[in-house]
């Protein structure tokens, strides 16, 4: 499938979606297809019917990334039971993300960034104090 064909399918489902979001959805679908089928060429969306493989292929991603992948799949689906299956997983991820937020739990990546940011600010303050004293 060409980019424009995939983009049109997404636009039909979500006509108010911005072009940057459409690009992200297309990219997500192509990446999932490659991860699941091993093919760079996205011929159809049959790969999303294997929910176990799809969920397994995204399980190590950050919660937000998992949600984004699943929402891109839901957007192209006509099959209501599949939509419901993926929708339930999105709801679970939303609940998990809310719980993490409420309990001040951050991902390893965010924690690393926070530690780096704090250390850099402390270093700047120390260097500033050294030059002013």
Span 72-87, pLDDT tens digits: 999 999 999 999 999 9
What is the model's pLDDT at position 117?
67
d(CA 55, CA 87): 12
Report, in this order, helix, strand and coil percent for the chain, each rounded to 5.
80, 0, 20
The answer on pLDDT for 11 being more than 90 is yes
Question: 129: pLDDT confidence band, cut at 50, 70 and 90?
Answer: confident
- Model confidence over 79-117: pLDDT tens digits? 999 999 999 999 999 998 888 778 776 666 665 666 666
Q: How many CA atoms lie within 13 A of 85 on its CB side?
A: 14
Mean pLDDT for all residues in the chain: 88
Q: What token pair was written down for 66?
A: 């998992």
Write the DSSP string, 89-100: HHHHHHHHHHHH
Q: Answer whether 0.85 is exceeded by the pTM.
A: no
Mean pLDDT on 60-77? 95
What is the model's pLDDT at position 124?
76
Tell me how many helices (H) and strands (E) the chain has. 6, 0
What is the model's pLDDT at position 107?
63
Mean pLDDT on 31-54? 94
């Amino acid at each position: 499938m060409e980019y424009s064909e995939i983009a049109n399918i997404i636009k039909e489902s979500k006509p108010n979606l911005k072009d940057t979001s459409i690009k992200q959805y297309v990219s997500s679908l192509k990446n999932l297809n490659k991860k699941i089928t091993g093919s760079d060429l996205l011929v159809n969306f049959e790969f999303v019917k294997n929910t176990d493989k799809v969920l397994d292929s995204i399980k190590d991603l950050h919660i937000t990334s998992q949600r984004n992948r699943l929402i891109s799949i839901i957007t192209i689906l006509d099959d209501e039971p599949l939509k419901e299956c993926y929708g339930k997983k999105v709801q679970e991820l939303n609940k998990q993300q809310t719980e993490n937020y409420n309990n001040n739990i951050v991902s390893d990546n965010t924690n690393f960034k926070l530690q780096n940011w704090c250390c850099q600010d402390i270093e700047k303050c120390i260097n500033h104090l050294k030059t002013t004293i």
